[in-house]
A and B are shown apart, each in its own frame.
Chain A
């Protein structure tokens, strides 16, 4: 049983909870995730670690209320308990000093790109952040990203805030600047996490420029310890398990179409119980 000690509505239907999980907080590294089960009849769902405090023994989870389990999670309050939390899971993001890193987060993926950006910054890199959401009301963690990144660019699909367009538009802007200038250069690495179409678009763009790009994949999981293969993805023509081989992979090798199809496997069942939690 893991106690929720704090809850914050970050945006419409995007919620942050702080939970006491000392063992996970102690070991957590950027890029890792946990699996939670809310109660006895709950399903196992993976959630990326948005932040953690080793001293207080707490972790932050940020989630969008999009289905049965996340809606139920969203209704829990400080003082309530989550029955099971397992973690930290997956390989941490490989963080080294390499120069300039562009960290891209889309939607609730911003929550996940934040600790990665921070880790790259702490390792001595110049970090450029690009975060995007559908509209101003759905944008989260702008302040934290601004604190962390050397430069931050924001896009909204509807233009209600900052640059109108997608994160790829902002990324292309940056590349255009490099192309025209003599004293700037292309980034050494692009790290991206968000909806699959966004990661796919970013990957296609950076591939043209030959810039190494890492994406954090979010396939469906059950045990998340390498036992079921629910999370299998194709990377470089080979089947890998998102949970134990990832979640970070070389974007240019990922079969995004397959991932998108596999993410829809339970759509009918999910629709059936959505709103009933």
Chain B
């Protein structure tokens, strides 16, 4: 039997923001690890975007070597405590696990989390930092003088920065918000990814020598050119030389709206705004924290992705009645099965095959209802999913007073707009070549800014590959004689 990760009971957890999944105990973890067949052809590893040696770390867990298991994972994955929680393992390593043929794949996600959480429980962050620093200094790396700037501290940026630091580069990581972590901080809620975990993983990245500068918006505070320029003294701590190379990992932060009447009424929120207010700014603790949120009693969330489910479950925890509206059916929902199930267990009703067409003004500029039209599934569309088609004269009104629009995010346009010569594609993503290099020499990009909104782990995979490409690039330019500047 596959061992499931224990959870807070639904009735209890909808009243708090604590983590839903509780993690394996030692015996649960070792029992699950013992199920691993230790296949020679490592099918699971092929399903992992960052190629963690999964059978090897599972073996270490089985042998009670939790710390060693963690160290092994960290060779490939800089953010295991995060991945163990939010990766869609069911589509990746667990999908390719041999035991999945019998529908009993190893619970790799829960085991990764178990290993990753080791230092949370056992060691203080400080001693860990010392451990890592000493290990890295003596064994693995030679410090270089070359400097790399990483723009955006989400999963792609953190991963790229960490890998470059492990290679010995001097890395500065720029973040426009006041806290590092990107979507891990502002987007994914506390009950799915505790911010303490994110802070801990970020501290690990810092311990590798990465200098994190928050409150710095590249495009405004510095231009990309500023970062390259020699002798500009920017940033002052970077000395007189500019950065040799830049990685852009600015993500998909531009919220999409429906484009229907009434969308600018009060109490209509983008998922980003709702989640940022609650997660990052802690509006759920207002007025202890100064950021407010104004939602009514009946909240409707529009969308069927992970972000929509996050919004619905946050609203539920704020004590509101929540309905999730989706224009296709549950089968087509892009959210993780686990999240859909969690939301069901928590009592979130789904209104499927429903398309909002108008948000009704209550007469004071606030949401007074949501007019929808019923849909049916037609022929498959470009995504391979059956296209929803409106049913004529099936309009009806949902009585709600708050609307959260969670229908997707587009690539963040700020930096491309502010940077001459940085080529973008029609969908707003930054164009890169096969080595993750943009149209500007020495400037690389990865994560949602090149792919559009995707998972944490795919952004990390891109960050890793870009780090390798940046290393190659720097070696190629520094081996040539310098003729200018």
Contact = CB atoms under 8 A, between A and B. Distances in A.
A43 B281 contact: yes
Interface stretch (A138-146, A187-195, A208-216, A268-276): A268-276
B177 interface: yes
Contacts of A232: 264
B291 A44 contact: yes
Contacts of B291: 43-44, 222
Contacts of B176: 86, 223, 225
A92 B113 CA distance: 47
A227 B255 contact: yes
B277 A222 contact: yes
Interface stretch (B15-23, B213-221, B297-305, B348-356): B213-221
A226 B413 contact: yes
A261 B177 contact: no
A86 B414 contact: no
B273 A222 contact: yes
| Most chain B beta-carbon contacts within 10 A, residue among A24, A222, A273 | A222
A87 B292 CA distance: 23
A239 interface: yes
A226 B414 contact: yes
A21 to B, nearest CB: 9
Interface string B157-182: 00000000000000000001110000
B263 interface: yes
Interface residues of B, number: 44
Contact of A229 (B217, B221, B273, B282): B273
Contacts of A272: 287
Contact of A228 (B178, B222, B273, B292): B273
A7 interface: no
B221 A228 contact: no
B216 A68 contact: no
Contacts of A84: 178, 214-215
Given A41-B282, A87-B220, A239-B263, 17 more contacts: A23-B222, A84-B214, A84-B215, A86-B178, A86-B216, A87-B221, A222-B277, A222-B291, A226-B412, A228-B272, A229-B269, A229-B270, A232-B264, A262-B266, A265-B294, A272-B287, A276-B287
Interface of B: 176-178, 186, 214-217, 220-222, 234-235, 253-255, 257, 263-267, 269-270, 272-273, 276-277, 281-282, 286-294, 364-365, 412-414
Interface of A: 23-24, 27, 37, 41-44, 68-69, 83-89, 222-223, 225-230, 232-234, 239, 244, 258, 261-262, 264-266, 268-270, 272-273, 276-277
